[in-house]
Amino acid sequence: MSWVDGVVGSLFAFWLSLSALWQIGPIRDRILGASFIWRFRLLPIYTFFAPNPGIYDTRILVREKFEDGSLSSWSEIPYMIERSWFDIIWNPKKRIQKFFFDCVASIKTTYNTVRNTEDDTSRDIRDATIKLSDGYIGMLNYILHLPLKDETIIARQFIVAEATQASGERVVIPVCRSDFHPVK
Amino acid sequence: MTIFDTYTLTCLLLSISGAVKSLEMAALKYELAPRGIFDWNIIGPTWMRRSPAVGLLARIYSPQGMMGIGLTCTLCGFLSVLFILTDVAPVYGKILGTVIFACMFLLYYRQDLGTDGADQMSFFVSIAVLVCFCLSSSEFINLVGIIFIAGQLCISYFASGFSKLFSSSWRQGLAAKGVLSTHTYGNKFTQDFFKRYAGASLLICWATIGWEILFPFIFFFDGGIFFLGIFVGIVFHLSVGLFMGLNAFVWAFGAAYPSVIYIGTQLL
């Protein structure tokens, strides 16, 4: 065995060991929380659908403000398409649904990080932090570039909610409501 | 099965994984176009968007670029089949593996949002293919790559099963029904199924937990039980693809199975 074999073998053994440790939440968050690992996604997270299974669909509601100051009623964006058995071969739309799922997760994570802020100044920072999260920006980009049905629309506002039917009844939980954002 | 066959079969499955992902992305023309939700100039990783190659990357990550990656992966898939069926010099397999790694690298770092575990698995498997097969002729390093790939698969199942064990939703049997009752991961069939057979959710939850935790131990058993474990794994991923629409997992996780089979049949 040459020294190159030893180095490469050790590196992969080390990487495999880190991959195993990275699955443990507290280690991920505290001990190994190096930003470059997150940035370059050098270690995997394999805890699929656990501990919290994805039992929620992401629902997006939008309303519009017109030049005269009037508001439209809330309407849901129908981005979800009925599933088909052919999805095992070809399923591009799952990436859109996963995108919105990740946006909600990003907004929630940011909110949980900054929520314990009570005074007004901190609350402003908290709200700004949420609006600068990847999830909020991604969602906003989508909302603002939906086609305009009316030339007099000047701004849009959105609500993100999660809906589940796990208990048999439909339950809807709001996640966040945006400010009005100019569309032009 | 030789080490070369193992890596070539891995390349074939990675090619299909890459082709499916990139062609599916290319099909989302409106979303990939400027100001769409997958517009790389908006959701691409910051470190990439600030790199000197930003102009080239923007082209690669356009709908046409994604189509190019998809066609490259498809071609690599056909070549992999050819290499499996005929005797070719190993150097061609190594060139093939390098091209596949380049495609996987580009796909993995296209965006942070909207990716999943299949992307992770494809990327880590492709790194092992590049470093331990394409860039090395050492039999020891070839073997290291195979062990790394099989190790990633075992960690993925064990970690997933173990974290489910600590989730009350999974232990109480609510998770399977809950997930498969959504519009995102379920369909009309699964929604009706759980309305009719509510108890099946508990069975599915515990079967998933049990199989995922026990998977790494298949190496301790003889041929029959070992191949039963492999068979259950394949059925599991096909079921997830069929019922949940997560088709990318079939190919991405499937790409790690040749390494598991190699270790189980050649080494133990």
pLDDT in tens, A16-31: 999 999 999 888 877 6
Read off the tokens for A22.
Answer: 């990275």
Main-chain phi, psi angles of A128, to 5 degrees:
-65, -40
pLDDT at B31 > cutoff 80? yes
Of A92, A97, A165, the CB nearest to B27: A92
- Write down the pLDDT at residue B57: 96
pLDDT at B190 > cutoff 80? yes
Q: A173 — contact with chain B (CB < 8 Å)?
A: no
Q: Beta A171-177 vs A153-164: how paired, if at all?
A: antiparallel
pLDDT in tens, A45-63: 998 998 888 889 999 999 9
Split at pLDDT 50, 70, 90, the class of B233 is very high
pLDDT at A69 > cutoff 60? yes
pLDDT at A2 > cutoff 60? yes
Contacts of A137 in chain B (CB under 8 A): 42
Report whether the peptide linkage leading into residue A51 is cis, meaning its omega lies within 30 degrees of zero. Answer: yes
Main-chain phi, psi angles of B72, to 5 degrees:
-60, -45
- The DSSP output letter for A132 is T
3-state secondary structure A13-81: HHHHHHHHHCCCHHHHHHHCCCHHHHHCCCCCCCCCCCCCCCCCEEEEEEEEEECCCCECCCEECCCCC
The reply to whether residue A47 touches residue B36, judged by beta carbons under 8 angstroms, is no
- Write down the pLDDT at residue B268: 66
3-state secondary structure B27-59: HCHHHHCCCCCCCHHHHCCHHHHCCCCHHHHHH
B43, B48, B51, B53 alpha-carbon torsion, rounded to 10°? -90
Q: What is the mean pLDDT of residues B218-247?
A: 94
Main-chain phi, psi angles of A175, to 5 degrees:
-105, -50
For residues A54 and B245, is the Cβ–Cβ distance under 8 A?
A: no
What pTM, to 2 d.p., does this model score? Answer: 0.92
Q: How far is it, in rounded angstroms, from Cα A130 to Cα A139?
A: 12
- Write down the pLDDT at residue B196: 93
Of B113, B123, B144, the CB nearest to A138: B113
pLDDT at A34 > cutoff 90? no
- Write down the pLDDT at residue A123: 73
Q: How far is it, in rounded angstroms, from Cα A70 to Cα B190?
A: 43
Q: What is the mean pLDDT of residues A128-155?
A: 89
Please report, as a single letter, which amino acid is at residue B97. Answer: G
pLDDT at A141 > cutoff 70? yes
The reply to whether residue A53 touches residue B183, judged by beta carbons under 8 angstroms, is no
Q: Beta A57-66 vs A153-164: how paired, if at all?
A: antiparallel
Helix (H, G, I), strand (E, B) or coil at A183: coil
pLDDT at A120 > cutoff 70? no
pLDDT at B48 > cutoff 80? yes
The reply to whether residue A51 touches residue B167, judged by beta carbons under 8 angstroms, is yes
Residue of A nearest to B167 (CA): A51
The reply to whether residue A50 touches residue B167, judged by beta carbons under 8 angstroms, is yes
Report how far apart, in Å, the C-alpha atoms of B161 and of each of B43, B195, B211, B217, B252 are: 32, 25, 8, 13, 19
- How many contacts (CB atoms, under 8 Å) link A and B? 201
